[in-house]
Amino acid sequence: MTAETRLDTVRAVRWHDNHLELLDQRLLPARSQFNAYEDVDEIAQAIRDMVVRGAPAIGIAAAYGVVIAARRRFSEAGAGWREALESDLERLAASRPTAVNLFWALDRMRNVIDKLGADDPEPALLAEARCIHEEDIAANYRMGELGAALIEGGDLITHCNTGSLATGGYGTALGVIRSAVARGGIGQVYADETRPWLQGSRLTAWELVQDGIPVKLICEGAAASLMRQGKVSWVIVGSDRIAANGDVANKIGTYSLAVNARHHGVKFMVVAPTSTVDMNTPTGADIPIEQRAEDEVLSLNGQSVAAEGAGAWNPAFDVTPAELVDAIVTERGVVAWPDGEKMARLMGGR
C-alpha cells in the first residue's frame, strides 16, 4: 500500500445491490449516512439538494441514474424504452446547470444508448457508468502526482471541498494535497470554511481528519492576512467548468482567493479532469452561474442569522480569469499560465 492510498479512505458514491448509494453530505460531519436510490427523480432531487455535490461526483451519480431510469423504462415500455428515457435524461441534465461534468457524463451514456438495440439496456449502461467512476478515480491519482510535483513545501490553502466527497475518490485539488502530504515537506493545510454551505468546515475538514491529515479552518476573510505572513506557497482549488480560454468557474469565493494570491505572490493552482473543460464555452463570461435560494445566506442550519426584511445575493459560483491562474492540472498534463491556444492543445485541438 502506498502512502497515497493510506490517505484515501472515503467514498461518497457507490453502486451496491443494484442501486445507487450516496453519502448524504448535508449531514456531515455530525452523521455519516448513506441513502439508497432506485428512482431517477429522487437522484435528480439529491443532486439539486446537494446530497451529492462536486462536479465529478455529480456526473458519476447521474450516470448511475441513467442505469436506474433505463431499468424502469425497459420494464414499462419494452422495446420503446429509448423514447421513454428521454425525459429522464432531461431531468438529470436540469439538476445543476454549472457543473459541466454532468452533461459530459450524460453524453457518454447517450452514446451507449444510441448503439443499443431493443434488448435490456441495463448491462451495457451499468458497465459504462462503472467505467466513468473508475476512470475518475484513476484520473485523480494522476492529477495528484502531477500537482504535487509542482509544490516545494510551504503552507497550502484550499477552498470548498474537492476531495473524495466531490469525486469518485481521492479528489482533485484535495488529491494533490494528499499526494503532497504523502511526499512530505508540506507545512500546514488551511481550509476555507466556505459559506454559505460550509463545505470547507463540514466536508474538507472531516475528510482530512478521517485520513489523519492535520487541517486548520479559516474564514474566507482571513485568507489575505494569512498569505501576507509569507508562509503560503499555493492556493489549490477545483473547478466545475473551465472555459476554452482557461477561465475557471468554481465555488463562490475562488475569485477572491485568486486576486489575493496574485497580490501576495502566492501561486494559484486549479485541479480538474479534462471532463471539466468545456471547449464549447469560449470564455468565463459564457458560463451559466447557478443562483441559489436567499435562505442559504440568510440562515444557518435552519436558524435565521439576518435582520428580518434583508435580502441576499447567492451565486453558487464565480469565475476566475485565466490570467490569475498559474497552473491547470489535469490527468492529461499541466497547463502553465493557461490561454486559449494551450487549452486547445491540451484537448487535442477540439
Q: What residues are labeled active site?
A: 240
Q: Which of 171, 82, 156 is nearest to 120 (CA)?
A: 82
Give the type of residue at 164.
S
Give the type of residue at 30.
A
Give the type of residue at 203.
L
CA angle at residue 223 from 217 to 224, to 5 degrees? 160
Query: Which DSSP helix (H) or strand (E) runs through 37?
Result: strand 34-37
SS3 206: helix
| Radius of gyration over every alpha carbon of the chain, rounded to an integer in angstroms | 20
How far apart, in whole angstroms, are the C-alpha atoms of residue 99 and residue 241? 6
Cell digits of residue 37: 436510490
**Alpha helices in 79-151, H assignment, sequence order:** 81-93, 100-115, 122-148
- Strands 241-243 vs 277-278: parallel, antiparallel or unpaired: parallel
Cis ω on the peptide bond leading into residue 123 (within 30° of 0)? no
